[in-house]
Amino acid sequence: MKKLFTLSVFLSSILVLLTTTITFPQTSLPIGFSADESTFIHKSDYKEPFYKATGITTAPIGSLRAMAQWEEIQGLTITWTNYQTVLREIVRAARAETQVYIICGNQCSGSTDSTGVKNYLTQGGVALTNVHYVYGPCNSVWARDYNANSVYMNDVDSLVMVDWKYNRPRPNDDTVSHVLARKLGIPLYETTQGANTLIHTGGNYMSDGLGTAFSSKLILDENPSISETQVDNIMNDFMGINRYIKMETLPYDGIHHIDMHMKLLNEETLLVGEYPLGVSDGPQIEANLQYVLSNYNSVFGSPYKVIRMPQPPDQMNGYTYPDGTFNGGNYLTYTNSSIINKTIIVPQYYQEYDTTALRIFREAMPGYNVVGINSNSTISASGSLHCITHSVGVKDPLLIVHQSLNNTTNTTTPYQVDARIQHKSGIQSATLYFTNDTTVGFSSIAMSFSNVANNVWTGFIPPYPTGTHVFYYIKAHANSGKEQVRPMPAPRGNFNFYVLGASTGIVNVADITFFMKPAFPNPSHGITCIPVSFKKNTRGAVKLMDMIGKEVALIYEGTIDEGEKPFFINTLNISAGVYIIKLETPEGCATQKFMVR
């Protein structure tokens, strides 16, 4: 990335034993190493800053579940340093959704009290309701990277926070989690001692809330003295991560944090940054994505859904993209966003691309309040909104996990809706709401507790005729009286699917049965998955046809192995309209209607 130091700089700092401390200006440190830091860590008398553990350095006992970013939070945390215009807009958006905790210690705000912060917010028209001021020293603004992550014992019971060893020589930043944990009364565990030492950073981590996490292989590079298995064990022991997916680092993203080009929107949907063909980090991002799609399914056992998000050029540097040189552009990104309960804050740079990014978020997360915040100042230091915010989960989460129903051709039998629902007090009831016209409201039906062992509740939406767009959401009541809906903005936001007209079929010829399941997402704008299942090996072709039978794209041609196999098509360069996906084999064919938006 432009103007950043390489990973080898950091690794050398870890491997050298040194004897002095670092004192740098506290207000302008980038996410990567500053020039002063890089100079200091290469001096022969340098040693890592002294750090005293004050959290619990052994792993929590019992099963653990690391929170996902779309779950309910009790607070958003920021550090009041530079980029105060951006911080003020974050507070403006977040305080309507949750409590906002501002770290405003004297080493980063220039004052030992909060008067200056309050005055700045008030002068900008930001009300101070739900805003709190926490006093503690810090070095930089990059709260995501050094603050602790929320983890639940036994899925939804006690909340704890887990703090890794920060991957920068900034000792005050590494203590912010301790200050917050004391303020909020949450037990703090840390991976800073002995065999449990793990160097990590929040920008290079995302969790699906159900045991899967993603990172770049920076996590391995920053912990050269331990094996990948040991890294995985520490993440499992402290956070309940039992499947840790790691991708190659990118050539031009100098900090190698995945939040610069990727975001989980829910348990099965990946928002992935996209460059023009062959440009900048585009080829490696695509290779990483195909690696994930080819080797891993979502926690539901189905292929991940993918939504593409343009990575814009840097208009301040001649509309250039990052290329590893000083002439390349800054690493502009929209995936570096934060979900704050029912609001999503999205970086903004210039209107030409901003409007597209906001539209993609609103279509992908219907019902959420999507707020754009100008981030040109922070991106020059290689970070944006996700980098400078962090969240703290609620102490009594009401967890609702549901895999959204796919489009269907079924017009005769009810549509089954399953949801895993949990609260520490137990679930009193769950209700399924559905409609084919949101302007007239939703009908409701009680869900039944269908699988006690797995906390699954089930309800049924009645069948609808061809051409219907169905909307639905789930609401649960805990024994304690707490209520929750999924999606969180329901009924304004909801799950939805189409009842399609063309048949997606089972074809029985001789001794073979093959089945093409509904493609998803459908309608499509980007990568779409087409699941196919065969009882034996055969040859075949998967094609995209227009409505008069002309071939538009050859998706696949060749041998198809026995079992289930997903095929993929990228529709970004295909004109909007209605098409047919056609599966051809020597034994027969199957088709389904497909829409590109």
Average pLDDT of each block of 10 consecutive residues along the chain (597 residues)? 38 33 50 58 57 85 97 97 95 98 71 82 97 91 96 97 91 91 96 95 98 98 97 98 98 96 98 95 96 96 94 94 90 98 98 94 96 96 96 98 94 96 98 95 97 97 92 98 98 92 45 70 87 82 84 88 85 88 80 87
pLDDT for position 24: 37
Distance (Å, rounded) from C-alpha 399 to C-alpha 410? 30
pLDDT for position 5: 37
Phi and psi dihedrals of 582, rounded to 5? Answer: -120, 125
| Torsion sign across C-alpha atoms 221, 227, 229, 235 | negative
Cis peptide before 397 (omega within 30 of 0): no
Phi and psi dihedrals of 194, rounded to 5? Answer: 55, -135
Cβ 596 vs Cβ 575: under 8 Å: yes
- Cβ neighbours of residue 388 closer than 8 Å, sequence gap 6 or more: 78, 79, 83, 86, 87, 90, 141, 142, 143, 144, 378
Question: CATH 3.75.10.10 in the chain, residues?
Answer: 64-393
Enter the pTM of the model: 0.80
Q: Position of tokens 């000792």?
A: 171
Architecture of the 64-393 domain: 5-stranded Propeller (3.75)
CA angle 481–487–490, rounded 5-degree value: 75
Distance (Å, rounded) from C-alpha 240 to C-alpha 243? 9
pLDDT for position 255: 94
Cβ 516 vs Cβ 506: under 8 Å: no
Distance (Å, rounded) from C-alpha 289 to C-alpha 217? 14
Distance (Å, rounded) from C-alpha 484 to C-alpha 71? 11
Question: CATH 2.60.40.10 in the chain, residues?
Answer: 399-498
pLDDT for position 32: 61
Q: Which helix (H) or strand (E) holds 40?
A: helix 35-41
User: What letters, b where the CB count within 10 A reaches 16 and e where it falls short, cover 59-79?
Assistant: bbeeebbbbbbbbbbbbbbbb
Indicate the class that CATH gives domain 506-596.
mainly beta
Closest CA to 417 of 450, 440, 453, 443: 450
Distance (Å, rounded) from C-alpha 318 to C-alpha 316? 6
Q: Do strands 563-570 and 527-534 pair parallel, antiparallel, or not at all (unpaired)?
A: antiparallel
Question: CATH 2.60.40.1930 in the chain, residues?
Answer: 506-596
3-state secondary structure at position 510: coil
pLDDT for position 6: 38
The DSSP code sequence of 297-319 is: --TTSSPPEEEEEE---BGGGTS
In CATH terms, the fold of domain 399-498 is Immunoglobulin-like (2.60.40)
Phi and psi dihedrals of 38, rounded to 5? Answer: -65, -40
pLDDT for position 100: 98
